[in-house]
Structure 1
Amino acid sequence: MGATKAEGSARDRLLAAANELFYREGVHTVGIERVLEKAGVAKASLYSTFGSKEALVRAYLEARAQRRQARIAERIAQHEEARDKILAIFDLLAEIAAEPGYRGCAFVNATAEEPEGDTQVRQVAASTRTWLLAIFLDLAKQISARDGEVLARQLGVLYDGAVVGASMERDPKVPREARQMAERLLDTFEMPRAASGKTSRTKRSR
């Protein structure tokens, strides 16, 4: 496989090469020499820019996390209601799963290759998952102030399952099915609030 087109700084080219190779084949499977060849830079540039392969792996994952967060933020900003924002996250996942070259979640994949312990890969993966769970929590509390934390955790589990399922089955229908399940889950948490409002209105009318 030839080198990438020599555009941008050495850092940009290394990250572009890492993004392609690490995501497609794995962060530990791909040797640093292949990344250097793909990027078209010398080994000295790697060490002067990142210091080590481990730091490059972390930078690769952090860059993917930033892009993922930007896509989610942009998508939910298109909606006003918390329910629609939550479902939009699952819609986006279905679109991502349908993209050519989709190989599942980069953070799940990289973590699966890691040994036990608090590694840099696990730190980045945990951080990006915490970010998404915080989004779910904020939106869930708008739907159910009392049970928002429970709803957020269940949405997180549903999302995680959709990510892994889409990767294993290579089929974007998995996130779409997860969206349908999320709708039913939201209905369950919204029903008590709706019933409570109806009861209050009935009492006031007497």
Structure 2
Amino acid sequence: MSDARSRLLGTASRLFYAEGLHSVGVDRILAEAKVTRATMYRHFAGKEDLVVAYLGEADRAMRQHVEAAVAGASSDSDAVRRVARAIAEHIRTEGFRGCAFLNAVAEYPDPAHPVHVAVLEHRRWFLNTVTALLARVGDTPAELHGRHFVMLRDGAMASGCLSDPGPIGDTFLDAVEGILAARST
């Protein structure tokens, strides 16, 4: 990745997450990234392509966090707990503003729009990944518990940027323990 593209994507990502996708203009991104409009258009067809690239980076980061959590786990249940702890820790980070994907879909409600499609692809991957992890814990079908996990995560993400994230993270972790207990019976 070229230095200019990296600066452009890094700046856009920071601004998009902190302030929203529609509220941040291209001129501001260019000024803060210290790149020209021509440089931006060499790397991205337009702002919406930059938004999709931002979501792609967020998706890659989430996948890496999940892979690292699973790789360091001592058991299948521990893998689920480690993924949940990574989410709870993310909620507790300085400047947390909720889920980048839920924020994006709120701004791009058209299901055919590339931004919306990128969100749905990420969410499909996450649901499938969590469901597969939960399937390794217990003998019953894991689809319902996978959906519960994702819904709990979504609620924790929304609540974590509206109130004190510490108790929200703890409540999320307690709920995941409930899912694991239900899987183990």
TM-score band by shorter chain is over 0.9
Q: Please tell me whether the aligned partners of residues 111 and 117 of structure 2 are also in contact (alpha carbons under 8 angstroms).
A: no
Q: In structure 1, which of residues 107, 110, 117 is the aligned counterpart of residue 101 of structure 2?
A: 107
1:159 aligns to what SS in structure 2?
A: helix
Aligned: 1:172 with 2:166:
yes
Q: Which moved more, 1:136-145 or 1:23-32?
A: 136-145
1:116 to 89, 110, 117: 110
Whole-angstrom CA distance in 2 between matches of 1:77 and 1:120: 32
Partner of 2:179: 185
Verify: 1:130 aligned to 2:124, yes or no. Answer: yes
Is the 1:98–1:171 contact (alpha carbons within 8 Å) kept by the matching residues of 2? yes
CA distance, structure 2, for counterparts of residue 126 and residue 115 of structure 1? 11
Q: CA deviation at 1:115?
A: 3.6
TM-score normalised according to structure 2 size = 0.93
Name the Cα RMSD after superposition: 1.4
What TM-score do you get using the length of structure 1 for normalisation?
0.84
Report if aligned partners of 1:143, 1:190 keep a CA contact under 8 Å in 2. yes
Partner of 1:145: 139
Aligned equivalent of 1:3: none
Return the alpha-carbon distance in structure 1 between the equivalents of residues 179 and 25 of structure 2. Answer: 44
Percent sequence identity is 30
Aligned to 2:149: 155
Cα offset, 1:170, TM superposition? 4.5
Shift in CA distance, 104/170, structure 1 to aligned 2, threshold 3 Å: farther
What is aligned with 2:74?
80
Among 6, 26, 29, the alignment partner of 1:35 is: 29
Q: Which amino acid aligns with 1:171?
A: P
| Stretches of structure 2 lacking an aligned partner (at least 5 in a row) | none
Contact 1:166 1:175 survives alignment (8 Å): yes
Q: Which runs of 5+ in 1 are unaligned?
A: 1-7, 192-206
Q: Take 1:120 and 1:170, find their aligned partners in 2: how far apart are those partners?
A: 33
Match in the other structure for 2:85: 91
Q: Which moved more, 1:76-85 or 1:31-40?
A: 76-85
In the alignment of these two chains, the number of paired residues is 184
Cα distance in structure 2, aligned partners of 1:148 and 1:9 = 44
Name the structure, 1 or 2, with higher relative contact order (CA <8 Å, separation 6+): 2
SS at structure 1 position matched to 2:165: coil
Aligned partners of 1:91 and 1:176 also within 8 Å: no
Structure 2 counterpart SS, 1:172: helix
Aligned letter for 2:163? E
The answer (yes or no) to whether the contact 2:92–2:169 under 8 Å persists in 1 is: no
Kept after mapping to 2: 8 A contact 1:105/1:163: yes
> Residue deviations 1:130-172, cap 9 Å, x none?
1111111111111233321222122121122111111222413
Structure 1 residue runs of 4+, over 4 Å off?
none
